[in-house]
Amino acid sequence: MSQRKPLIRRTFLQERYEILIKRQQNGTATFNELTELDDIVNRDPSIREIVLIENHFIDAADDDNESVPRPLKDLTKPVKAQSWLSRIRAYIGRVFILPVSSTAEKSFITI
């Protein structure tokens, strides 16, 4: 019997991250793809943790000083997921505060 490779569970964001990283390393990534890559890294805590660990433990060519690696707890901070209610509150807050602040700026300018 042929032996099959074990299935690896990956999310869409993890797959897209891999594709975009390969394109970035090849130098063929467009600005929109780099923006999408940045958004994926900032949005997904598991991918962000992987990126931080890779960037922290890979020696950079321009580092002259020897820095002692910090513990993993200091390197990554857990991200609290926002609920729908908190997202709606933030959106409503932005909608109502922005026009008020623009009128306040106008009043300061005219005085």
Q: What is the pLDDT of residues 73-102, one digit of tens each?
A: 565 666 677 788 988 888 888 887 755 444
Instruction: Report the number of distinct structural domains present in the chain.
Output: 2
65 found inside a domain: no
Contact 40, 53 (CB under 8 A): no
Which residue, 50, 52, 46, 37, is CA-closest to 81? 46
* Whether pLDDT at 23 is above 90: yes
Q: Would you state the pLDDT for residue 55?
A: 77
Inform me whether the pLDDT recorded for 13 exceeds 90.
no
- 53 and 90 belong to one structural domain: no
Rg of the chain over Cα atoms, rounded to whole angstroms, equals: 22
Q: Are residues 50 and 85 in the same domain?
A: no
Q: Let me know the angle formed at the C-alpha of 76 by 75 and 82, rounded to the nearest 5 degrees.
A: 155
Structural domain harbouring 28: 10-59+70-77
Q: What is the pLDDT of residues 39-70, one digit of tens each?
A: 988 888 888 888 888 777 765 544 555 555 55
Q: Round to whole Å and give the CA distance between 109 and 58.
A: 51
- For residue 95, tell me if it sits in a domain: yes
Q: What is the average pLDDT across 4-20?
A: 85
